[in-house]
């Protein structure tokens, strides 16, 4: 055995041991498996200091989980919800578990009492600003004498109900849910549902967080069931609805994990069985497994060190590389059928160059993914760029020593299939009869291609799972409320300007709410009005409410207070406004529900976020963001969808460019006529894949176009190989067919993924590679019998 071969063998083996040690010692214990689909997508294009604050806001938002605990008896639902929330809070998997809102109301009431001379509820500001204090007076008296306001406390402290009004405007917007006692309750004809809000302690896309959350929710459900045992009536079971990113993420993780396991198992077993069947030796599948294992370790290790995490979806995609990597092993081992006195060392001379060239073409294809601004695609590229060369190196360095010659010739079944296939494809030549078949086929493809629709909406990329989607729908239906992913960001050089700009914005939003075009919004200035507004409110109170003949003394007189009590109350009103300052507000516990929306200062920029619920028309809101100073409308979904569309177009051009470049290269190498012939399979396969998608009604996305690029990278060499090896057409046909078969198999498995874009890649590649293979076999020049 040549010393170079032995040297390569030893060094590669040593390298693989190092890789295995790193993988087992550093990667496996530390690897962070990510499941957030947004992680796969480009970062927001919002620039500068705001970007990470927005991310922070989005991160906290993603942690929020909303539960509705329902039962036909409201008091049972109430008690169950308290037990459920208590159990969640104790579990350690959730923080900020809220089922009682009394604390918030108390804090807001306290803040109001301390600053009541500069704060006004919107409901009172409107009539006073319009110069109609009678409206306020009438409303206050009506409330005092109405049996409906019976439950309202503190009437003597707040005869005008201003504090109660201010409080009401502080409540979390929860759509149709209403405060009952200190719980938020929503009802349908059969049940009452008590609302619980909680946050997962870490990102809901972490696999561990999901696990802990799942256990905590199950335990809480049990606790709630136990708490209401023995209650009348207990005939109906509790209903627990969960909404938020968590249930979707957990379902996605579960299914992606399942897919990684199933796809890689089926893929591995299938290719290993094929190896065993072809080479009739246990050594062949073991060698195959060695190459696959080395490639997988390398791919995951590289991804871990480059990105600091491994995305589950990238792993699902990576499982399809089995079909590509096994090619190298097949190619090498198939060489033994060439000659009776074959030795693995000499095989190297024969197969090393085609294997390396094939790999290079594939790597160029995957490398192209690095050019796009999609972290997810880059992870897939890194898995391929690290995994495939290592698998390839294992074949080229280890096989010459480890492989043995077993089978002198192909197994009988394989011979027979190959012969059939050879005859079938070789006889396909352009003739009037084939034209008769070809023309309708072409028409079918053309029609299908015409039916192709494009889609760039990022929401369509997400997998939808029945249970979370159904829960989400029920919650939306009950609360009559949807949280928008789009928000307004208000930013300026100082906090007062931020608050004033926010108030200009909320005035517009109030208008939209009044006309039913917006459900609700949540803005810091509701709790902390700008100093300017507070001064204006102080002036309104001075002029209309605390004046000697103002609304307050008039109402107090009507309900029986004497002059002394009235004078004492009027005397408390300060002549000068002392507005609540941002610093005082932040120090007060009433600000805690708002802290997430108040971004505060960074790099000299103050900012706040106004979140929205139940918007009818986002374009209207976007226009508002463009019109108002200091206000910008941030719509991540649209932003990402736009990026997807731009990239889809860019990759389509890249694909066209790749074909152009290939045409030129092939023309130089083989002459224009042969080049045209060589390009027929991939070009036609592209059309066939597209038309199949058209007929199946699967929209074409960026990922479909990428799959077509990968198809070109993997499929172009079928035709080249068949042309170059036309002297030994059977052997060449075998190599190409095995390669196509394993590739189709592993990508075909992706077609069963629950993640739509993975599915699109799978379907496109399986159809494309299949077509490419059949076309290459049928258009290859006939063996030169004369020679």
Partner 1 sequence: MTRRSIAVLLVGVFMSTSLPAFAQEPPDLFSSPTTATALREGVLATALAEVAGSRVLEGRFTQRRTMRGLPRPLESRGVFLLVRDRGLQWHTLEPVDDEFVLTRRGISKSPAATGSRGGSDPRRRGPPLGPATELLFALFSLDLETLERRFDLYGVGTAEAWQVGMRSRDKATARAVRQAVVQGGQRVDSITLVNGSGDELSIGFHDVSVRTEELSDEQRALFQ
Binding site for partner 1 (CB under 8 A): 73-75, 78-79, 123, 127, 132, 135-136, 138-139, 141-142, 144-153, 155-157, 164, 168, 175-176, 178-183, 185, 189, 232, 480, 513-514, 516, 520, 558-562, 565
d(CA 77, CA 75) in angstroms, rounded, equals 5
Q: C-alpha distances in angstroms, 451 versus 594, 682, 730, 760?
A: 50, 21, 38, 16
Kindly state the smallest distance separating residue 103's Cβ from partner 1, in Å. 14
- Find the length of the chain: 787
Q: Which helix (H) or strand (E) holds 354?
A: helix 344-369
φ, ψ at 635 (rounded to 5°): -125, 90
DSSP state of 580: P
d(CA 706, CA 368) in angstroms, rounded, equals 9
Nearer to partner 1, 191 or 304 (CB): 191
d(CA 158, CA 161) in angstroms, rounded, equals 5
Nearer to partner 1, 225 or 422 (CB): 225
Nearer to partner 1, 192 or 528 (CB): 192
Kindly state the smallest distance separating residue 129's Cβ from partner 1, in Å. 13
696 C-beta neighbours (distance < 10 Å), count: 12
Nearer to partner 1, 208 or 562 (CB): 562
Nearer to partner 1, 156 or 222 (CB): 156
Kindly state the smallest distance separating residue 480's Cβ from partner 1, in Å. 7
Nearer to partner 1, 450 or 563 (CB): 563
Kindly state the smallest distance separating residue 188's Cβ from partner 1, in Å. 12
φ, ψ at 483 (rounded to 5°): -90, 130
Kindly state the smallest distance separating residue 233's Cβ from partner 1, in Å. 8
Nearer to partner 1, 521 or 703 (CB): 521
Kindly state the smallest distance separating residue 81's Cβ from partner 1, in Å. 10
Token representation of residue 311: 């995305």
DSSP state of 560: T
Kindly state the smallest distance separating residue 320's Cβ from partner 1, in Å. 50
* 544 and 553 Cβ atoms separated by less than 8 Å: no
d(CA 666, CA 659) in angstroms, rounded, equals 10
Q: Which long-range contacts (CB under 8 A, 24 or more apart) does 780-787 make?
A: 780/425, 780/719, 780/722, 780/723, 780/726, 780/729, 781/677, 781/723, 781/726, 782/426, 782/726, 783/726, 783/727, 783/729, 784/726, 784/727, 787/727
If we measure between CA atoms, which residue out of 321, 429, 334, 163 comes closest to residue 710?
A: 321
Kindly state the smallest distance separating residue 468's Cβ from partner 1, in Å. 26
d(CA 70, CA 77) in angstroms, rounded, equals 5
Kindly state the smallest distance separating residue 117's Cβ from partner 1, in Å. 20
Kindly state the smallest distance separating residue 541's Cβ from partner 1, in Å. 18
Nearer to partner 1, 171 or 401 (CB): 171
Nearer to partner 1, 523 or 767 (CB): 523
d(CA 622, CA 632) in angstroms, rounded, equals 8
If we measure between CA atoms, which residue out of 256, 361, 262, 297 comes closest to residue 739?
A: 361
Nearer to partner 1, 51 or 149 (CB): 149
Kindly state the smallest distance separating residue 588's Cβ from partner 1, in Å. 24
Write the CB contacts of 627 (distance below 8 Å, at least 6 apart in sequence): none
Nearer to partner 1, 174 or 461 (CB): 174
d(CA 749, CA 264) in angstroms, rounded, equals 9
């Amino acid at each position: 055995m040549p010393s170079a071969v032995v040297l390569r063998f030893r060094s590669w083996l040593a390298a693989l041991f190092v890789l295995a040690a790193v993988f087992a010692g550093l990667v496996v214990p530390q690897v962070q498996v990510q499941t957030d689909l947004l992680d796969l997508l480009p970062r927001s294009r919002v620039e500068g200091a705001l970007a990470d604050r927005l991310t922070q806001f989005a991160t906290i938002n993603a942690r929020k989980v909303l539960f509705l605990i329902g039962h036909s008896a409201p008091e049972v639902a109430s008690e169950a919800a308290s037990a459920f929330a208590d159990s969640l809070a104790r579990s350690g998997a959730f923080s900020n578990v809220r089922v009682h809102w009394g604390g918030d109301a108390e804090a807001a009431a306290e803040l109001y009492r301390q600053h009541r001379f500069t704060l006004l509820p919107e409901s009172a500001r409107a009539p006073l600003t319009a110069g109609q204090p009678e409206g306020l007076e009438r409303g206050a008296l009506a409330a005092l004498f109405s049996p409906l306001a019976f439950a309202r406390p503190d009437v003597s402290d707040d005869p005008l109900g201003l504090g109660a009004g201010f409080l009401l405007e502080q409540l979390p917007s929860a759509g149709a849910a209403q405060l009952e006692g200190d719980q938020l309750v929503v009802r349908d004809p059969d049940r009452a549902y008590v609302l619980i809000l909680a946050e997962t302690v870490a990102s809901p896309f972490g696999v561990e967080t999901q696990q802990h959350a799942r256990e905590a929710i199950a335990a809480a459900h049990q606790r709630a069931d136990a708490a209401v045992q023995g209650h009348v009536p207990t005939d109906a079971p509790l209903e627990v609805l969960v909404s938020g990113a968590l249930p979707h993420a957990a379902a996605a993780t579960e299914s992606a994990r399942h897919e990684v396991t199933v796809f890689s198992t089926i893929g591995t077993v299938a290719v290993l069985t094929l190896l065993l069947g072809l080479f009739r030796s246990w050594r062949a599948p073991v060698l195959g497994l060695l190459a696959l294992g080395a490639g997988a370790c390398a791919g995951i290790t590289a991804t871990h060190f480059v990105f600091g995490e491994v995305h589950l979806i990238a792993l699902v995609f990576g499982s399809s590389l089995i079909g590509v990597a096994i090619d190298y092993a097949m190619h090498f081992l198939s060489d033994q059928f060439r000659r009776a006195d074959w030795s693995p060392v000499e095989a190297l001379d024969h197969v090393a160059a085609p294997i390396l060239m094939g790999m290079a073409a594939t790597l160029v294809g995957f490398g192209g993914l690095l050019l796009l601004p999609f972290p997810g695609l880059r992870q897939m590229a890194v898995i391929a760029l690290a995994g495939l060369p290592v698998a390839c190196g294992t074949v080229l360095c280890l096989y010459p020593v480890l492989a043995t010659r077993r089978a002198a010739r192909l197994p009988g079944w394989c011979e027979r299939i190959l012969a059939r296939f050879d005859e079938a494809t070789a006889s396909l030549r352009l003739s009037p009869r084939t034209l008769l078949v070809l023309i309708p086929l072409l028409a079918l493809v053309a029609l299908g291609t015409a039916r192709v629709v494009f889609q760039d909406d990022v929401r369509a990329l997400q997998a939808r799972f029945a249970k979370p989607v159904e829960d989400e729908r029920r919650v939306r239906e009950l609360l009559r409320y949807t949280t928008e992913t789009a928000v307004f960001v208000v930013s300026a050089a100082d906090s007062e300007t931020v608050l004033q700009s926010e108030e200009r914005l909320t005035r517009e939003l109030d208008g939209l709410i009044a006309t039913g075009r917006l459900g609700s919004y949540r803005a810091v200035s509701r709790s902390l009005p700008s100093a300017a507004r507070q001064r204006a409110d102080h002036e309104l109170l001075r002029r209309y409410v605390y004046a000697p003949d103002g609304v307050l003394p008039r109402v107090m007189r009507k309900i029986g207070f004497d002059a002394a009590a009235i004078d004492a109350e009027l005397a408390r009103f300060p002549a000068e406004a002392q507005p609540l300052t941002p610093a005082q507000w932040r120090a007060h516990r009433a600000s805690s529900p708002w802290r997430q929306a108040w971004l505060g200062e960074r790099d000299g920029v103050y900012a706040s976020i106004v979140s929205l619920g139940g918007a009818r028309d986002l374009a209207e809101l976007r226009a508002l963001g463009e019109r108002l100073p200091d206000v910008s409308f941030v719509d991540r979904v649209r932003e990402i969808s736009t990026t997807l569309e731009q990239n889809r177009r860019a990759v389509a051009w890249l694909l066209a460019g790749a074909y152009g470049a290939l045409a030129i290269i092939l023309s130089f190498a083989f002459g224009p006529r042969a080049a045209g012939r060589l390009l027929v399979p991939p070009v036609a396969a592209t059309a066939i894949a597209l038309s199949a998608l058209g007929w199946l009604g699967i929209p074409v996305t960026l990922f479909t176009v990428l799959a077509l690029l990968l198809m070109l990278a993997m499929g172009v060499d079928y035709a080249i190989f068949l042309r170059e090896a036309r002297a030994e057409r059977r052997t060449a046909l075998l190599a190409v067919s095995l390669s196509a078969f394993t590739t189709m198999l592993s990508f075909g498995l992706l077609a069963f993924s629950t993640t739509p874009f993975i599915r699109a890649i799978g379907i496109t590649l399986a159809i494309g590679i299949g077509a490419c293979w059949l076309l290459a076999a049928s258009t290859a020049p006939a063996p030169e019998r004369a020679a």
